């Protein structure tokens, strides 16, 4: 029996049954039509909607005409392939802790956000789901299939100083051959008290993947302390959140949220 036809007797037999009638689902669908951003909490629905919007824009694509000389060689072809496949990065693991940090928890809709390297719209949808207002979200990447994402380089961010309350760099820094310049630019566009949020995959030293990444021109950071060193103690007010992999012998995720002075 489907959830839409669940009877009281079925609920009594199975405490996990939703117990919703068709009239209940009708009310839920009315709510979703009023607040469609609720759908963005589901990764599958984020992907589905992003694909539909890409079709709506006739698979509109843009690529940086002159790739940054500070980007590793595979940046544009790899990111274009990932964009076309609608692969979502692990950035959800960064947005979740961000959403509960002051003042984001209470004032997300008022805060200006810069997303660096989203490729497609899933990251933007995720930010909207967590309370950020669409008109306050800017995004740059060297490839894009969305009019919501501008072509731009994280080594020369096309925004003035002190423009944003939050900066998110989710799995984009590893494509840089000059991490210091990229970090300096990200700090530049953040307002005093702004939140610097970054996530990337830690590749264990000594592995074939580690060596391949360096052969491609990448820089392998293996601890959140590496990023804190790039930001510099003089610019840090507090470390609001940090995560390093528990098992250092395997690939894992490094996450860092820093409040700047």
Nearest to 95 by CA among 261, 257, 224: 257
- The helix, strand and coil proportions of the chain, stated in percent and rounded to the nearest 5, come to 40, 20, 35
CATH 3.40.50.300 assigned to domain 38-260? The reply is: no
- pLDDT of amino acid 31: 95
**Alpha helices (runs of H) in the chain, residue ranges in sequence order:** 8-13, 22-34, 43-56, 75-84, 92-99, 104-107, 122-129, 179-189, 208-215, 224-231
pLDDT tens digits along 70-89: 877 767 777 777 777 777 77
How far is the CA of 177 from the CAs of 9, 33, 54, in angstroms?
Answer: 63, 45, 31
Angle at the Cα of 226 (from 225 to 228), degrees rounded to 5? Answer: 60
- Rounded Cα–Cα distance for residues 247 and 20 (Å): 43
pLDDT tens digits along 169-220: 999 999 899 999 999 999 999 999 999 999 999 999 999 888 888 888 888 9
- pLDDT of amino acid 4: 46
Q: Which residue has the tokens 């029996």?
A: 1
Higher pLDDT, 15 or 103: 103
Q: pLDDT tier at 10 (50, 70, 90 boundaries)?
A: low
pLDDT tens digits along 214-226: 888 888 999 999 9
- pLDDT of amino acid 94: 96
Q: Which residues are registered as beta bridge partners of 164?
A: 190
pLDDT tens digits along 98-138: 999 999 999 999 999 999 999 889 999 999 999 999 999 99
Q: Which residue has the tokens 């490094």?
A: 254
Q: Is the pTM above the cut of 0.75?
A: yes
- Rounded Cα–Cα distance for residues 13 and 15 (Å): 6
Average confidence score pLDDT of the chain? 89
pLDDT tens digits along 221-241: 999 999 999 999 999 999 999
Nearest to 149 by CA among 140, 137, 158, 160: 140
pLDDT tens digits along 134-150: 999 999 998 888 899 99
- pLDDT of amino acid 60: 62
- pLDDT of amino acid 1: 39
- pLDDT of amino acid 92: 93
What's the residue count for the chain?
A: 261
Domain borders along the chain are 1-34, 38-260
Output the CA torsion sign for 36, 38, 40, 45: negative
- pLDDT of amino acid 46: 93
């Amino acid at each position: 029996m489907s959830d839409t036809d669940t009877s009281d007797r079925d609920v009594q037999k199975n405490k996990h049954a939703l117990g919703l009638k068709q009239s209940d689902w009708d009310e839920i669908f009315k709510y979703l039509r009023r607040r469609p951003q609720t759908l963005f909490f589901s990764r599958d629905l984020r992907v589905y909607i992003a694909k539909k919007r890409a079709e709506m824009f006739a698979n509109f694509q843009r690529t940086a005409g002159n790739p940054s000389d500070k980007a590793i060689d595979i940046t544009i072809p790899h990111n274009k392939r990932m964009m076309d496949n609608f692969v979502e990065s692990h950035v959800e693991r960064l947005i979740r802790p961000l959403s509960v940090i002051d003042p984001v928890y209470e004032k997300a809709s008022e805060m200006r956000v810069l997303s660096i390297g989203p490729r497609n719209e899933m990251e933007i949808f995720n930010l909207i789901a967590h309370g950020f207002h669409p008109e306050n979200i800017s995004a740059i990447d060297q490839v894009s299939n969305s009019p919501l994402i501008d072509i731009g380089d994280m080594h020369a961010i096309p925004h003035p100083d002190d423009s944003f309350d939050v900066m998110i760099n989710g799995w984009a820094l590893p494509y840089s051959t000059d991490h210091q310049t990229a970090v300096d630019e990200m700090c530049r566009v953040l307002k005093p008290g702004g939140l610097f949020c970054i996530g990337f995959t830690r590749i264990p030293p000594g592995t074939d993947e580690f060596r391949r990444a360096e052969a491609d021109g990448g820089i392998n950071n293996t601890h959140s302390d590496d990023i804190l060193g790039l930001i510099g103690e003089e610019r840090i007010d507090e470390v609001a959140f940090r995560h390093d992999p528990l098992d250092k012998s395997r690939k894992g995720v490094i996450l860092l949220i820093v409040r700047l002075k």
